[in-house]
Amino acid sequence: MKKTPKISVVIPIYKAENFLVRCLDSVLAQTFKDFEVVCLDDGSPDNCAQILKQYAEKDSRIRIISKNNTGVSDTRNVGIKTARGKYILFMDSDDCIHPQTLEITYSLANKNDADLVYFRHITKNYLDIGKHLNKHFCKDTVEFKVVNNVLEYATEKNHGGSSWKIRRGFIWAYLFKKSFIQEIRFPTNIKIGEDLVWLLKVLYKKPVSVLTKLPLYFYIPNNNSALSRLNRLGYIENMVSGLLEIGRVFQNADINDKKLFIREFAWPVMISVVRNVKHLQDKTEKKHAIKYVLKLYRAGLVRRPSTFKAIKCYFRIKNMLKDI
């Protein structure tokens, strides 16, 4: 293998023995061959280490980095630091990628000297992705759009807007130029939403971006994911903490980008947080959660509602604050 591969596929691994093989197989099946797979064993207590060893013995492109368990954010930070490729693609160890993912994204990035390439994903059970995996795309006729302020296309909303909209902060839906992201660290104090915080810091820097609508990543639901294990109060705490962190970054943004952040990210996250506060049954937990919402208010994020849902959320927050 060349000393400097064109792409590094970075995969944090923890308790993934039931699906690690399918993940690695999907990477090794790529039509594009000049890559490395940075497998970060985050102190996984199961058989992941043995599986990785078997794969590394068969394919020299697989690099194993073993570390103590410090969580996915710190593990991704290690991955960025140790990746040798010009570009980085993040994967979760329970997911898969289309055989042409690296071929198409590298072609688009290289052709347009892009800092990132965004592509679509499909949410399916593993047994249902066969027909999507077998679909062939012609890289020379791929429809794409080059944008200089990708914030104008990004949103945390589920619906509405342009068909080119980038929805949700899924970092595995991108190919990133390493030199553009290498100084941006994932927050280690947040368990849920850390990827959105990191991604918004990337988008804040105005990367030259290529958008394509091709579905090249397969998100496979996992009942043992960090999100599924977190209780409602934990979700509220983490999402508020993440929003406060990225809000501090956007304090220095120009007025248009600040408006985009408030409308497309701050309000959708706050609406989700307020819904979860509403459904808390324990009075002590609810009071604690409302105090977290108060942090958003004091930080100046509870303002400028421009949609019906945001206006409803705004008045719910105002009513909550009366109870503090």
Q: Is residue 298 scored above 90 in pLDDT?
A: no
Q: Under a CB-based contact definition with an 8 Å cutoff, are residues 266 and 301 in contact?
A: yes
Q: Is residue 146 scored above 70 in pLDDT?
A: yes
Q: Under a CB-based contact definition with an 8 Å cutoff, are residues 215 and 129 in contact?
A: no
Distance of CA 100 to the CA centre of its chain: 20
Q: Under a CB-based contact definition with an 8 Å cutoff, are residues 264 and 304 in contact?
A: no
- Comparing CA positions, the residue from 119, 79, 116, 117 lying closest to residue 98 is 119
Tokens standing for residue 125:
């059970």
Beta-strand pair 209-219/62-67: unpaired
Upper half-sphere CA count for residue 241 (Cβ side, 13 Å): 15
Residue 303 confidence (pLDDT) = 65
More confident residue, 198 or 290: 198
- pLDDT tier, 1 (very low <50, low <70, confident <90, very high otherwise): very low
242-270 as b/e, with b when 16 or more CB fall inside 10 Å? bbbbbbeebeeeeeebbebbbbbbbbbbb
Instruction: Dump pLDDT digits (tens) for 264-292.
Output: 998 889 888 888 988 888 989 988 888 88
Q: Under a CB-based contact definition with an 8 Å cutoff, are residues 206 and 251 in contact?
A: no
Residue ranges of domains in the chain, CATH in brackets: 7-223 (3.90.550.10), 231-321 (no CATH)
Beta-strand pair 7-13/35-42: parallel
Q: Under a CB-based contact definition with an 8 Å cutoff, are residues 48 and 20 in contact?
A: yes
Beta-strand pair 62-67/96-97: unpaired
Beta-strand pair 96-97/174-177: unpaired
> Phi, psi (5° rounding) for residue 70?
-130, 5
Q: What global pTM score does this model have? A: 0.92
Tokens standing for residue 118:
């965004």
- pLDDT tier, 322 (very low <50, low <70, confident <90, very high otherwise): low
Segment holding 42, helix H or strand E: strand 35-42
Instruction: Dump pLDDT digits (tens) for 305-321.
Output: 666 566 667 667 767 66
- pLDDT tier, 137 (very low <50, low <70, confident <90, very high otherwise): very high
Tokens standing for residue 164:
């080119």
